[in-house]
Amino acid sequence: MKITFSKFTLVAIFAFALTFIFSCSEDSGKKCVEMFNPDNSFCYDGVVYDKCDGIKYNPYTHFCTGKTVARAICNGVDYNPLTQRCKNNIVQTKCGNAWYKEVKFCYDNVNNSFSDTLTDSRDGKTYKTVGIGAQIWMAENLNYKVTGSVCYDNLESNCKSYGRLYNWQAAMKACPDGWHLPSNDEWQDILDFAGGDDVVRSKFKAKSGWIGRSGTDDYGFSALPGGLGISISNGGFYDIGKSGFWWSSSSEYDATEAYRLCMSYFSDSEAADYCESSKTSLNSVRCLQD
């Protein structure tokens, strides 16, 4: 029996075959498993992308803006538009739901599982460290003795539990080599990573050690309520077990005051707040790896 096809059928078969060939081909790297229409899409390294006004492009180095293919370059620096962006002439990399100036490692959308230790060569003390988003933090308050620092109530036992309290000038130079006092932006990075400063307080508070409400310590930051001191010269200490205050290195609030991150048990809010304080007041220090 002789099988015949109409011209229309032959054209349809040819078009299907051509589409299948193109839809399984690739421009670079891995082959695409997903079927696609080559009229408006293309395969690159195993992933299907939309064409930019009919034009193919390298998605690792270019992106589509409107109907134009643009090179991903930020202040003279090339970047990968699939994982990075250019903001204020600075390349930022996405990790989880937040963007960072530098990503040393990223557990994307997974609760932190990185931890290590740091030994301060200046006095031999060892601190737990923890990775949160793209940053590596000390997981304990600093306890390095420098001029401008004291133990709460001048008791060494409080330093062992909560770390030392520092005035702002001492805090600015207290961290060991390779570490520094975090800025407001760097504090904000971990708050954003955890969901924003309005909801994260309990996620960073230690599971015990707080009067009233302790936290869930989701990321191993283990914030403890070390309280605060009035000044080195005047003495006076308040709120140990109730509140924690950590200095920021950001440009000071004014000539006599500076910023710090504040957590307490007093409020029902889960917010971690920025609050100003006299530079002579005594607050805790957490160091961030350079």
pTM: 0.62
Residues 6+ apart with CB under 8 A from 276: 253, 257, 258, 259, 260
Highest mean pLDDT, choosing among 4-8, 14-18, 99-103: 99-103
The residue among 97 and 9 whose pLDDT is bigger is 97
Residues 147, 166 contacting (CB under 8 angstroms)? no
Instruction: Provide mean pLDDT across the span 68-89.
Output: 91
Q: What is the pLDDT of residues 94-145, one digit of tens each?
A: 766 667 666 555 544 443 445 688 999 999 999 999 888 778 899 999 999 9
Looking at the predicted structure, is the pLDDT value of residue 187 above 60?
yes
Instruction: Provide mean pLDDT across the span 28-50.
Output: 89
The length of the chain, given as a count of residues: 290
Domain boundary assignment for the chain:
1-62, 72-102, 115-289
Residue 267's pLDDT band, with cuts at 50, 70 and 90, is: low
Tokens at 274, concatenated? 């920025």
Q: What is the pLDDT of residues 203-251, one digit of tens each?
A: 888 988 888 778 888 888 999 999 999 998 887 999 999 999 999 998 6
